[in-house]
């Protein structure tokens, strides 16, 4: 059974960036609920229509909408290793995930908390860019795409996220503190939590993750 890992952290902590590195190195299947929802909004599916107003307002989408999606994903993943990036984000989601794992006879191996200070988050989000097609993360200053506005991986359009406006960022940080931060204790008590310093460069944070997971190589 491959490793099942959760990435936890505030908006702008660098979850997406670390997820990319981990997924490549460890051969994990990646589920970013944020990317999945943005694709659904773009494609104007039923899910996208339901989620759009919450996302624009910087709020979490309702638990029942997202839990079903994750269950479907884990069923498909089966014994392969996977990385959940941006899920769970509420206690109800974490408890539902425990049930899903039990039902599918799977176990959670690690929860990696990427911890950042508010100043770093604000600075990062102000310059963050994302590929509209594949969700690859960029930064206008520290990691711009080779050709402006074009994704290095898939050639899609690299844009600023609609919810990275200052007012929405504030709301998303509040949602994180209120609803998601309690999960740190939840997983600490289960003995699954690994905390790394997300204020460092992407490489340095990733080195810390690998050291704490006991991953060698690359």
- Kindly list the catalytic residues: 15, 89, 128, 161, 172
Query: Least distance from C-beta 211 to ligand AMP, angstroms?
Result: 25
Query: Least distance from C-beta 168 to ligand AMP, angstroms?
Result: 8
Residues that bind ligand AMP (CB under 6 A): 11, 33-34, 37, 54-55, 59-61, 66, 86-89, 93, 163, 172
Nearer to ligand AMP among residue 134 and residue 211 (C-beta): 134
Nearer to ligand AMP among residue 3 and residue 10 (C-beta): 10
Residue 160 CA, chain-centre distance (Å), reads 17
Using CA atoms, how far apart are residues 1 and 7, in angstroms rounded to an integer?
A: 19
201: left (phi over 0), alpha (psi -120 to 50) or beta: beta
For ligand AMP, the nearest residue by Cβ is: 34
CA distances from 92 to 6, 14, 88, 186, 195 (A): 15, 24, 8, 11, 22
Nearer to ligand AMP among residue 86 and residue 198 (C-beta): 86
- Grouping H, G, I as helix, E, B as strand and the rest as coil, residue 131 is strand
Query: Least distance from C-beta 83 to ligand AMP, angstroms?
Result: 13
**Residues paired with 29 in a beta bridge:** 82
């Amino acid at each position: 059974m491959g490793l099942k890992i959760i990435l936890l952290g505030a908006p702008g902590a660098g979850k997406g960036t670390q997820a990319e590195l981990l997924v490549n190195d460890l051969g994990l299947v990646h589920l970013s609920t944020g990317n999945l929802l943005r694709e659904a909004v773009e494609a104007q599916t039923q899910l996208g229509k339901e989620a759009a107003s919450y996302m624009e307002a910087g709020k979490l989408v309702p638990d029942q909408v997202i839990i079903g999606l994750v269950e479907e994903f884990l069923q498909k993943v089966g014994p392969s290793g996977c990385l959940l990036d941006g899920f769970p984000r509420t206690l109800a989601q974490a408890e539902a995930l425990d049930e899903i794992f039990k039902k599918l006879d799977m176990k959670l191996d690690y929860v990696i908390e990427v911890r950042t200070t508010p100043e770093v988050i604000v600075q990062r989000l102000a310059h963050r860019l994302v590929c509209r097609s594949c969700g690859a993360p960029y930064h206008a200053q520290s990691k711009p795409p080779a050709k402006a506005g074009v994704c290095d991986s898939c050639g899609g359009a690299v844009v600023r996220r609609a919810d990275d406006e200052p007012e929405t960022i504030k709301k998303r940080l509040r949602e994180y503190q209120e609803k998601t931060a309690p999960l740190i204790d939840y997983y600490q008590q289960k003995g699954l939590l690994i905390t790394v310093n997300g204020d460092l460069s992407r490489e340095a944070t990733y080195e810390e993750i690998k050291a704490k997971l006991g991953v060698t190589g690359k």
